[in-house]
Chain A
Amino acid sequence: MAATQLALPSGERKADPSVAVYGILALSVAVLVVMGTLVGAYLAIRAGTKVFPPNGVVLQDYYSNILGGTALIAGFGGWWALYAVRRDERRQAVVALAMTAFMDAALINLMTYVIRSSALSPRTDAYGVLYYAFNIAVIAITATGMVVALVAMFRVLGGQVTSGEPGVGWAAAWYGTVVTLSFLIMYFFIYDLQ
């Protein structure tokens, strides 16, 4: 090994566990701006035509309520995992994160079904374009949330997330909340504000 000369006093320190949290929060800002953009488009178009859903199109509350419940459970799972991580309950944290990932998958699955069975189409009118854009955005955000939950789960399994270093747990909890929030934004404007 070549000789080294230490020029400055060492400031070596442990890796900051909150790096993952800050990264996720920065990404969350971008995600929420995308949702805000779609809401802006929705309000602008609605101000012009005022008829939503278009005549002859029925958006069923049943599906949207089931979707909303799934999204809330997915969001809850992240915080449950964090609760477990902070108490070093590794098995419980893994279950919570697996549930979050599973609920995200269920949300995507049900959303694709609802999209296909709805009478709104991007071929027919502007609202169809908006409806599909909202759903595609939420599906993409949910898929990212699933990846975050799975990464956190494997890190918990690998012993890299503990009560001493809960950063990834916090990141998974926050991003799970962003996934839920994104869905609720769509839920409010598409299904609730008819």
Chain B
Amino acid sequence: MTLTVSRPAQPPDAPSSEVAGASLLLPESPFTTSDHKRIGRYYIAAGILFVLVGTAIALLLELQLSSSGANITGNDYDRLFSLHTTVSSLLFLPLLFTGLATYLVPLQIGARRLAFPRLQALAFWGTFFGGLCLLGSYTFGKPNGWGIAYPTALPFAKAGASRATDLWCGALMLIALCSVLAAANLFTTVLKLRAPGMTMVRVPAFSWSVLAVSAAVLVATPVFIGGLLLLYLDEHFGGGLFRPTQDHANLLWQHFLWLYGRPDVYLVVVPALGGLTDVVATHARRPLLQSLAAKALIFAVAVLCFGVLASGQSIEKAVLLPTPSVLSLLVAAPIGLLALLWLGTIRPAVLRFHVSMLYVLGFLVLLLAGAVNGVIAPSQHLQGGLTGAGSAWTVGQVHAVLFGAPTLAAFGAIYHWGPKIYGKALNAILGVLQWLLLLGGFLLAALGSWLAGYDGAPWHVTTYTGPDAHSWFADARIGVAGGVLVALGLLVFVANASMTWALARKAPEDDRPGDPYEASTLEWATSSPPPEDDFDVIPDVRSDAPLADWREAESSPT
């Protein structure tokens, strides 16, 4: 059942001029496209490309930690470490979720386009170019010391112009600026382009989460842009703003970095929760239990992410709160409640087995593993005490909870919306294989770091030394095995997506069901993939399940 049975060559109604008219000024090309679906696919492809690079770097670093001696030394190790952290945290999950949002939000809210379609294309190409510059900075001479990612020291120890540092700062500024543009665009789209009758309460969970995360990005990311501008000028000209002798310099940088960095790391969970909420409701074949409460919980996560600023050893001295870890734990409360709502929705339902549900399960398993370790940690002798800052244990927590879980959620969403994005469902067997590889990989990678942390290993070191080093080497080898599995999982996805994309282009239109799930949200009301203007006719929405309403109306006697 679709709004569009087949893809019309020319939409029958006039309002398409919004999109078509824009093409009169600029020729349609990958750089000037106003098609949100095309831009969304670019974002997803770029995210996958960057994470493959980030994972390759991670494997190099982990390999070095798994045996005595160091092949990558000093500055090179530091720079690779910084590249791994920034590429993985800024250029993978944010791009994947921005891509999904760019593709799906207009469809979910019944819009023909984004609020500013060309701005999104500009944001994408800026981000992509910035990502290439960030990676390219490694080849441009020596930077001024340790990279930005190290949280307890000034970013660059010595002043003086360096092309590598300039490129590094400039690339990060460009990426941050483009993320603000994309966030402003998505925020405005959800607020102003909803179909008639689609009140804020009726907005699907994923689009709701995009609204929440966009608002958070608009507030958090500019702090980083301002900080990077100061850092760039300071590093390039050597004025000494961040010099250790300067009063408050360290504190200043901590605030710039973590007012953005802490919420940013946690914020990727927000669209993950929104996406999985829609996945669960669709495959449970029934409305989500307490959908309004679920949306409030998603919003609460976005707000509480800012409290995480107070956690961690580095910022602990700056923010005078007696229990900074409580603010971190608070984020877990709405996530846990939301998971309970998912279970409450599934329990009485006739669940459809779909590969995306495995990813929901994987997401919960990784969160649970992180929670269990959070309980065990205080009884162990971690570096940095209760917070674990300075311990390899924290590396495990980061990889399981903040990176692994949202990654599984992102791929779960891609498998769920695959028929819409690619015009054909992704191969389910490869999907299960990828799930096994990713879940196993993340658990093993985290396990290596957890065990090393419990054995007293420090974090962020070039190589392990000391009497316990041999035990830590063994732990690191577990991490290497996990990293290899994750890399294989990503490659399986690349193969699956490429194969599906190629097959879908050859498949006749009858084989491209608009709504393969009997879903209730509007993105399934149009053909797969949707026509240029998304809908032949913008629907009038009467509830938060407009397609279910239509099916009911069709089946009832007139």
Is B255 touching A40 in the complex (CB atoms < 8 A)?
Answer: yes
In the complex, B368 has a CB within 8 A of chain A: no
In the complex, B219 has a CB within 8 A of chain A: yes
- Given the known interface contacts A12-B13, A33-B219, A48-B248, the answer about A38 and B536 at a Cβ–Cβ threshold of 8 Å is no
- Distance A41 CA – B540 CA, assembled complex (angstroms): 50
- Distance A132 CA – B235 CA, assembled complex (angstroms): 13
Looking at the complex, which one of A19, A23, A129 makes contact with B233 (CB distance below 8 Å)? A129
Looking at the complex, which one of B5, B184, B192, B538 makes contact with A18 (CB distance below 8 Å)? B192
Is B1 touching A2 in the complex (CB atoms < 8 A)?
Answer: no
List residues 115-168 of chain A with CB under 8 A from any CB of chain B.
121-126, 128-130, 132-133, 136-137
Q: Which of B239-247, B280-288, B490-498 lies on the face that meets chain A?
A: B239-247
**List of B residues within 8 angstroms of A48 by Cβ:** 246-248
Interface residues of chain A, those whose CB is within 8 Å of chain B, are 1-13, 15-16, 18-19, 22-23, 26-27, 29-31, 33-38, 40-41, 44-45, 47-49, 121-126, 128-130, 132-133, 136-137
In the complex, B69 has a CB within 8 A of chain A: no
Tell me the smallest distance from the CB of A44 to a CB of chain B, in Å: 5
Is B196 touching A26 in the complex (CB atoms < 8 A)?
Answer: no
Is A122 touching B3 in the complex (CB atoms < 8 A)?
Answer: no
A1, A41, A124, A136 — most chain B CB neighbours (10 Å): A41
Is B256 touching A19 in the complex (CB atoms < 8 A)?
Answer: no
- Given the known interface contacts A10-B540, A133-B229, the answer about A31 and B222 at a Cβ–Cβ threshold of 8 Å is yes
Is A37 touching B222 in the complex (CB atoms < 8 A)?
Answer: yes
In the complex, B188 has a CB within 8 A of chain A: yes
Tell me the smallest distance from the CB of A50 to a CB of chain B, in Å: 10
- Given the known interface contacts A2-B9, A6-B537, the answer about A12 and B223 at a Cβ–Cβ threshold of 8 Å is no
- Distance A3 CA – B6 CA, assembled complex (angstroms): 7
Is A26 touching B116 in the complex (CB atoms < 8 A)?
Answer: no
Is B222 touching A8 in the complex (CB atoms < 8 A)?
Answer: no
Tell me the smallest distance from the CB of B438 to a CB of chain A, in Å: 34
For the complex of A and B, list the 5 residue pairs with the smallest distance between their C-beta atoms, beginning with the closest.
A48-B247, A37-B226, A11-B540, A8-B539, A11-B196
- Distance A7 CA – B536 CA, assembled complex (angstroms): 10
Looking at the complex, which one of B218, B233, B525 makes contact with A122 (CB distance below 8 Å)? B233
Is A10 touching B538 in the complex (CB atoms < 8 A)?
Answer: yes
Tell me the smallest distance from the CB of B115 to a CB of chain A, in Å: 5
**List of B residues within 8 angstroms of A37 by Cβ:** 222-223, 225-227, 256
- Given the known interface contacts A8-B539, A26-B188, the answer about A129 and B218 at a Cβ–Cβ threshold of 8 Å is no
In the complex, B191 has a CB within 8 A of chain A: yes
- Distance A41 CA – B191 CA, assembled complex (angstroms): 33
**List of A residues within 8 angstroms of B550 by Cβ:** 7-8
List residues 405-430 of chain B with CB under 8 A from any CB of chain A.
none
Tell me the smallest distance from the CB of B158 to a CB of chain A, in Å: 15
Looking at the complex, which one of B13, B230, B540 makes contact with A8 (CB distance below 8 Å)? B540
**List of B residues within 8 angstroms of A16 by Cβ:** 192-193
Tell me the smallest distance from the CB of B169 to a CB of chain A, in Å: 12
**9 A-B pairs (CB sep. < 8 Å):** A5-B3, A26-B183, A30-B180, A34-B229, A37-B222, A37-B256, A41-B241, A44-B251, A122-B236
Q: Which residue of A lies closest to B536 (CB)?
A: A4
- Distance A7 CA – B15 CA, assembled complex (angstroms): 18
Looking at the complex, which one of B255, B536, B549 makes contact with A6 (CB distance below 8 Å)? B536
**List of B residues within 8 angstroms of A38 by Cβ:** 226, 229-230
The interface residues of chain A, by DSSP majority, are classed as helix
In the complex, B4 has a CB within 8 A of chain A: yes
**List of B residues within 8 angstroms of A18 by Cβ:** 192
- Distance A30 CA – B192 CA, assembled complex (angstroms): 19
**List of A residues within 8 angstroms of B230 by Cβ:** 38, 41, 129-130, 133
Is B218 touching A45 in the complex (CB atoms < 8 A)?
Answer: no
Is B247 touching A47 in the complex (CB atoms < 8 A)?
Answer: yes
**List of A residues within 8 angstroms of B536 by Cβ:** 4, 6
Tell me the smallest distance from the CB of B523 to a CB of chain A, in Å: 13
Tell me the smallest distance from the CB of B221 to a CB of chain A, in Å: 7
In the complex, B344 has a CB within 8 A of chain A: no
Tell me the smallest distance from the CB of A25 to a CB of chain B, in Å: 9
B1, B3, B180, B188 — most chain A CB neighbours (10 Å): B188
**List of A residues within 8 angstroms of B18 by Cβ:** 15
The number of chain B residues touching the other chain, given as a range, is: 35 or more
Known pairs A22-B115, A45-B246, A123-B237 / 6 extra A-B pairs, C-beta < 8 Å = A7-B539, A8-B541, A8-B549, A26-B188, A27-B181, A33-B218
**List of A residues within 8 angstroms of B10 by Cβ:** 1
Is B538 touching A129 in the complex (CB atoms < 8 A)?
Answer: no
- Distance A130 CA – B251 CA, assembled complex (angstroms): 16
Looking at the complex, which one of B6, B184, B225 makes contact with A26 (CB distance below 8 Å)? B184
Is A12 touching B219 in the complex (CB atoms < 8 A)?
Answer: no
Q: Which residue of B lies closest to A16 (CB)?
A: B192
In the complex, B329 has a CB within 8 A of chain A: no
**List of A residues within 8 angstroms of B180 by Cβ:** 27, 30
- Distance A47 CA – B248 CA, assembled complex (angstroms): 9
Is A49 touching B537 in the complex (CB atoms < 8 A)?
Answer: no
Q: Which residue of A lies closest to B252 (CB)?
A: A44
Is B537 touching A10 in the complex (CB atoms < 8 A)?
Answer: yes
Is B8 touching A1 in the complex (CB atoms < 8 A)?
Answer: yes
**List of B residues within 8 angstroms of A11 by Cβ:** 110, 195-197, 538-541
Looking at the complex, which one of B1, B116, B187, B249 makes contact with A7 (CB distance below 8 Å)? B1
What 1/0 mask marks residues of chain B from 175 to 189 whose CB sits below 8 Å from any chain A CB? Answer: 000001101110110
Is B540 touching A34 in the complex (CB atoms < 8 A)?
Answer: no
- Distance A174 CA – B353 CA, assembled complex (angstroms): 51
In the complex, B32 has a CB within 8 A of chain A: no
Looking at the complex, which one of A5, A26, A123, A137 makes contact with B187 (CB distance below 8 Å)? A26
Is A136 touching B229 in the complex (CB atoms < 8 A)?
Answer: yes
Is A30 touching B221 in the complex (CB atoms < 8 A)?
Answer: yes
Tell me the smallest distance from the CB of A135 to a CB of chain B, in Å: 10
Q: Which residue of A lies closest to B12 (CB)?
A: A4
Is A45 touching B192 in the complex (CB atoms < 8 A)?
Answer: no
Q: Which residue of A lies closest to B1 (CB)?
A: A7
In the complex, B324 has a CB within 8 A of chain A: no
Looking at the complex, which one of A7, A22, A41 makes contact with B226 (CB distance below 8 Å)? A41
Is A10 touching B240 in the complex (CB atoms < 8 A)?
Answer: no
Tell me the smallest distance from the CB of B550 to a CB of chain A, in Å: 5
Q: Which residue of B lies closest to A136 (CB)?
A: B229
- Given the known interface contacts A7-B550, A30-B218, the answer about A23 and B184 at a Cβ–Cβ threshold of 8 Å is yes
**List of A residues within 8 angstroms of B540 by Cβ:** 8-11
- Distance A181 CA – B328 CA, assembled complex (angstroms): 36
**List of A residues within 8 angstroms of B238 by Cβ:** 122-123
In the complex, B7 has a CB within 8 A of chain A: yes
Is B7 touching A2 in the complex (CB atoms < 8 A)?
Answer: yes
In the complex, B2 has a CB within 8 A of chain A: yes
